[in-house]
């Protein structure tokens, strides 16, 4: 795996990237020895750092499955000022303007960024530093962060909802690919069929995919991408179009919420800003809008 930037001794001084910042920061690549420190930093705002926490808890700090590298910005005393995952998915957590500039500069050196995701205002600041020397934007999306806390709305349970098995793979893959295409405009079955298949299998093997199927037909699916005591982040939620409007989706969401909220403080998910039907669905399920996010999908550079 090619990491974003070859940095001599894994450090680079970045004070010159942001003239209005005081002092200097150092960019440092992170390893598994930093895991506890980084998770503690991210736990300061768990509802907004679910993405990086999920990658770390699932894959560790250094893994090909992260499809990128974790980096920290430290001040002169070695204290964390920010953490970022730079790679296929680029995420960051910091309020420090110099750190945002540093992470943006680092991302410019990585030629295969697929998407940038974060809170609306922070993504705008990141893009200010990134745009001139980075990959061009292909698609801008506004997303809405919804959250559910206890007490969850209780509905009639769905006895057939369960963790997926490898036998469900042929049902899951086309639905997952369809969702990815809707969000990004790229079908992973066309762009990276073998890698996509392996990622679907890995989520099944790690107990992240929940399904409800009947007589060989998939009726409901949800993916648990982050599972920590502070937050569970869901994505890839899907209800069969022929079964919508019958309450099945709400019942499945209610049952998952009832189970998940016994071990976490909140459940969150992102909804595309143009998908008004989904927004109404999650509001009916008890979720509340708490923040606006931006996703920028980037053009892949020609080889």
List, in order of start, the domains of the chain with CATH numbers: 8-135 (3.40.630), 162-293 (3.40.630.30)
Q: What is the pLDDT of residue 268?
A: 98
Phi, psi of 302 (to 5 degrees): -65, 140
Residue 122 and residue 88 in contact, taking contact as beta carbons nearer than 8 Å: no
Looking at residue 154, its pLDDT comes to: 80
**What DSSP element (H or E) covers 126?**
helix 120-130
Half-sphere exposure at residue 284, Cβ-oriented, CA atoms within 13 angstroms: 15
Q: Which residue has the tokens 């003239």?
A: 19
Higher-confidence residue of 151 and 211: namely 211
Mean pLDDT for 116-143 is 97
Q: 229-287: per-residue pLDDT in tens? A: 999 999 999 999 888 888 899 999 999 999 999 999 999 999 999 999 999 999 999 99
The share of the chain scoring above pLDDT 70, in percent, equals: 92
As a whole number, the mean pLDDT across the chain is: 91
pLDDT higher for 216 or 7? 216
Whether 89 and 115 have beta carbons less than 8 Å apart is answered as yes
As a three-state string, the secondary structure of 253-267 is: HHHHHHHHCCCCCEE
Percent of the chain's residues with pLDDT above 90: 82
Q: What pLDDT band is residue 303 in, cutting at 50, 70 and 90?
A: low
Residue with tokens 């998952």: 256
pLDDT score for 7: 33
Is residue 112 within 8 Å of residue 129, measured between CB atoms?
Answer: no
Does pLDDT of 157 surpass 80? yes
When pLDDT is cut at 50, 70 and 90, the band that residue 302 belongs to is: low
Cα separations in angstroms, 125 against 74, 95, 96, 128, 301? 19, 10, 11, 5, 23
Confidence of residue 5 (pLDDT cuts 50, 70, 90): very low
Among 24-33, 153-162, 207-216, the range scoring the smallest mean pLDDT is: 153-162
CA–CA dist 61, 80 (Å, integer): 16
Q: Which pLDDT value is given to residue 227?
A: 97
Q: What is the pLDDT of residues 21-79, one digit of tens each?
A: 435 899 999 999 999 999 999 999 999 999 999 999 999 999 999 999 999 999 999 99
Return the pLDDT at 243: 85
pLDDT the model gives residue 20:
38
Report the 10 Å Cβ neighbour count for 49. 26
pLDDT value, residue 234: 98
Q: What is the pLDDT of residue 155?
A: 85
Question: Distance (Å, rounded) from C-alpha 230 to C-alpha 210?
Answer: 20
Residue 181 has pLDDT above 90, yes or no: yes
Least confident of 3-7, 179-183, 190-194: 3-7
Report in angstroms the alpha-carbon separations of 104 from 39, 98, 117, 251: 22, 10, 13, 42
pLDDT for residue 1: 31
Mean per-residue pLDDT for 288-294? 97
Q: What is the pLDDT of residue 6?
A: 33
- Cis amide leading into 133 (omega within 30): no
- Of 115, 155, 130, 162, nearest to 270 by C-alpha is 115
Cα separations in angstroms, 277 against 70, 80, 239, 288, 294: 36, 40, 12, 15, 19
Three-state DSSP at 21 gives: coil
Span 189-201, pLDDT tens digits: 999 999 999 999 9
Rounded mean pLDDT of 84-91?
97
151 pLDDT above the threshold of 70: yes
Residues with Cβ < 8 Å from 241, sequence gap 6 or more?
none
């Amino acid at each position: 795996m090619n990491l974003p930037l070859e940095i001599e001794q894994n450090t680079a001084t970045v004070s010159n990237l942001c003239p209005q910042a005081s002092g200097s920061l150092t960019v440092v690549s992170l390893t598994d020895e930093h895991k506890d420190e980084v998770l503690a930093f991210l736990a300061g705002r768990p509802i907004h750092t679910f993405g990086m926490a999920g990658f770390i808890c699932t894959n560790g700090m250094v893994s090909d499955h992260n499809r990128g590298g974790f980096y920290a910005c430290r001040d002169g005393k070695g204290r964390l000022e920010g953490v970022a995952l730079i790679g296929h998915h680029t995420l960051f957590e910091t309020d420090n303007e110099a750190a945002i500039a540093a992470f943006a500069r680092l991302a410019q050196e990585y030629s295969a960024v697929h998407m940038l995701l974060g809170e609306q205002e922070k993504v705008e600041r990141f893009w200010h530093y990134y745009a001139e020397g980075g990959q061009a934007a292909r698609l801008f999306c506004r997303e809405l962060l919804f959250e559910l806390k206890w007490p969850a709305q209780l509905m009639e349970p769905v006895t057939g909802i369960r963790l997926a098995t490898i036998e469900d793979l042929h049902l899951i893959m086309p639905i997952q690919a369809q969702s990815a295409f809707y969000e990004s405009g790229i079908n992973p079955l066309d762009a990276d069929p073998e890698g996509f298949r392996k990622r679907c299998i890995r989520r099944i093997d790690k107990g992240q995919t929940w399904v409800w199927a009947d007589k060989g037909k998939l009726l409901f699916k949800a993916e648990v991408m982050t599972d920590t005591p502070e937050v569970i982040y869901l994505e890839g939620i899907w209800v069969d179009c022929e079964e919508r409007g019958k309450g099945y989706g709400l019942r499945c969401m209610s049952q998952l919420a009832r189970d998940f909220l016994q071990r976490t403080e909140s459940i969150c998910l992102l909804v595309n800003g143009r998908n008004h039907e989904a927004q109404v669905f999650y509001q009916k399920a008890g979720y509340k809008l708490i923040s606006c996010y931006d996703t920028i999908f980037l053009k892949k550079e020609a080889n």
